[in-house]
Chains A and B, each alone.
Chain A
Amino acid sequence: MESSAKVDVPAVDMRGIVKRFPGVLANDHVDLTVYEGEVHALLGENGAGKSTLMNILSGLYQPDEGEIRVRGERVSFGSPKDAIRQGIGMIHQHFMLVPSFSVAENIMLGMDEPRFLLDPQKIEGTVRELSERYNLDVDPSSKIWQLSVGEQQRVEVLKMLYRGATILIMDEPTAVLTPQEVEDLFQTLRGMAKSGHTIIFISHKLDEVLAIADRITVLRRGRLEAAGVEASSVTKKELAHLMVGREVLFRIEKKPAKAGEVVMEVEDLQAEDDKGLPALKGVSLQVRSGEILGLAGVAGNGQRELAQAICGLRPVMGGVVRVHGKEVTNAAPVVLIKEGVAYIPEDRHGVGSVPNLSVAENLALRNYRWPPIGNGWRINRVALRKQAVELVQTFDIVTPSIDTPSRLLSGGNLQKMILARELSGDPRVVIAVHPTRGLDVGATEAVHRLLLQERDQGAGVLLISEDLDEILSLADRIAVIYEGQIMSVVDAEDADIEELGLQMAGTRVGAGAEKGEA
């Protein structure tokens, strides 16, 4: 690559990095060499040790072994401040911004200068200049809460540039963006690389990595699988093999849907979010048996509220929810459970599981009421354990034992546990919210297979996801939600990814979008 030929001394050279956490070897003698002016992708599944390695480089963690050289000089960082002094800045997946502060104020936050008196004008000037130079369009005087997620990310980038970062680490930056925003981000990153910045791009999405990176380093289970291969010399298939350690099928085997009658519908549904602001502004959707209705949209556009309103966990302010023709608007959650509505919530730890209870008891959360587990006012522990043994096996949940507290399960296995519980009762309606968010390739495959299996057994599935690829590969019909309203509903065959992306960003597209409704 031209960039690597230009400079002999790498911008970052990490050698033999070892980092242990209790019970886990997060990095096992990992090397990483990044040259100045390149976009270097760090690819790996969840738990592969990407974030750990970058947290070490950015000074958040100290390595147990190994050495780090920045531009040839050996360094040891005690804190992120030490790293930023060497020009290394990390942009985390979750933004660290104060919503009520302005862009400029957020950028100043935590800096040693100025010591006492603030000069907002001067800072705003500098920020404006930076944002123009790097094509990071954002108004320095606006407040964070007024900004879209994409803009907030730009603020994070500006924050690092303002601190003099020349080596930028971005932890899964595209996870929260629409396709268009991703394209903007890539343009910015290319521009920055051209002007001599070094970018380390953490991701588990192969297409993205191939689109943006000059060179790629692959980690698997804390070990180095490939060090700095040229992006132009590998295929997606090869990368997937390196990342997962086996062949991956990208196309999901999917039989044509046999859609039947409507099993769940909402009509003109209205609900508020946690702050009491309107989150659903008249949503109407129908889910038929034997089909998957994909609801695409950037997170935070009412998806969570929609699922909760259907399941009786959020008051419905207007409109109707029907399951199998029966009205269940504002019914208690237990009514929905009895009607055979399975709900896979987005928050696996906070809602979907009881962290300190055992896997066996977590698996009974739905059907502890009924025989064989519920027996009058008592619980039949033998039946409870028997169910757990069966489900752990059928759903391939990896756990030390059925008595292990569920908080010790990995994300993928926790999700499999939730699916096992929700799907084992032969549900008629399945509502799955971001079911594969944060899961690795293997677990994602398993979740997709299970959802399709439910569909083929005749359940109506409402799949809420922000991952367009997931929606496109699973859904039979696709709806787009934006700011609490449905933008369109189309048949999956007629869907156009560009159009969907635009609608996710709030642009109404002309007549073509409505035709699939019938």
Chain B
Amino acid sequence: MAEKNVEKIESVVIRFAGDSGDGMQLMGDRFTNTSALVGNDLGTFPDFPAEIRAPAGSLAGVSAFQLQFSSKDIFTPGDQLDALVAMNPAALKMHIKDLKTGGILIVNKSNFTAKNLKMAGWESNPLEDDSLMDYMLYDIEISRLLANATEDMDITSKTVERSKNFFGLGLLYWMYGRPIEPTIEWLKKKFKKRPELIEANTRALKTGYNFGDITESFATQYEVGPAPFESGTYRNIVGNHAAGLGLLAAAQSSGLPLFFGGYPITPASDILHQLSHYRNYGVKTFQAEDEIAGVGSAIGASFTGNLSVTASSGPGICLKGEAIGLAVISELPLVVLNIQRAGPSTGMPTKTEQADFFLSMYGRNGESPVPILTPATPGDCFFIAYEACRIALKYMTPVFVLSDAFLANGSEPWIIPQLSDLQKIEVSFAEKEDGPYLPYERDEKSLARQWAVPGTAGLEHRIGGLEREHISGNVSYDPDNHDLMVKLRAQKVAGMIREIPPTEIYGDSTGELLILGWGSTFGAIRTAVMSLRDDGKSVSQAHLKWLNPLPADLGEILLRFQTVLIPEVNSGQLIKLIRSEFLIDAIGLNIVRGEPYRKSQIIEKVEEIL
């Protein structure tokens, strides 16, 4: 065995890239899990094509998974890559630009055939000319090595070929000093009924691991130690999954059955999938005929006293608009999750964007105010989904949650919350009293009307999309009443300002520059601000979880800084609101590439300003 160096490093960014059928997402998942188990902090970014199986070897079919793991606190999947695994020429073509100079490049040489090179648009084989000389290239004939490793097994060459992602995984486990046992255990569970697959994949994993260990060309192993986590029990969590759990926790806390009405759409479908498994929690999921029926059924269930939720993405939210307006005027609780993706129209369904803020805020006819909440990290999706339910029930209103594809599919280590620590959700239904039931009588403080569910004797009443008379709830065309109701609905939402905790400022509470963000830009902004502050720059961060209403202290905070920078993955939406609300000459950073921000893009902008 060759003598190996072990080099300690703080953080590593790696990316697996290959055909969408090559198991890149699975490889990423396993590496993430193992890294979590050794105690690293993590950020992940799955990046896959909308096509399920584009032609093998094509650029359109490349699927990738990026992760950063670190011995310190991190907030993003990282910018430039320390290592890239490219399983074919197309993956190399698509991703090589992100690899650092001097970075580790592992390619499956067996796939660099003339046909694949041509499909990926390489004019000559990059493994044979000097186009990759800036990198530490390891071109490995993975397919041949695996064929050798499994020649005594009675399995097809296709099965052998399909295990090549585990070779790559094994090699990286060796390179970064991670154990292979958790993955072997996982394989045993996953393929319980297919022992030949357990064996083939385990051999591939070990072959990759041993290849690193015994091959002279790999001279260095890297060690990334555990991160300084707060003590507790952790798991790794993906944003959409966290949101689904948050909904379930809210149902349990409120004591209401959870009803989810939805229609499949990327990248929101996972929430429908997940909740459909929770029948033993009494969850009722309804896969409707379309987006409108998804939200419609949820509104019906809400009228009937359930905690009702729908989830979709931009195009589906457009279809739901009219029904959400119905929930506004009929003042029924409803949670609407918008897992934003790049638009307009079908846009880029698997890519992230933050361009639906105005759609949520203003995308309905008439004066139709709704509260809007937005999570900052994958784990935060749990708490925001829970809070959205609490607000919907307390105020009898639809509530928007603005997540996005980056949060939905990304993951991070998550300290498992104790249900008993969550703010209890109190719900009371109307009961029969003397006199007729008045459906639009309001609570003095919250302005919420009472919830009277069908089946309660004596509370028979009618609601609907026509304007209501204040208190009686009868249909009314009276001009004064309409003006009053428009104002009451607006006041109800504006009054939720009392629910918003004081805005946290990272860095100094006053200074030259404040970076104000919302949603999934949190990690990139935080990383950039940390780095800028290390360089002695006067930069602070505030991150909004409530977009409507805005926090009470925000105007005053903004005035404490000479300049306010607002990065958004849109052409400038929050910034328009901030400018008009607070008359502040904020500056925007608006790169709309269907990708999350990189730390470097934010730093560049700050350096331009300061």
A, B from the same assembly? no
Interface residues, chain B, with chain A CB atoms under 8 Å away? none
Interface residues, chain A, with chain B CB atoms under 8 Å away? none
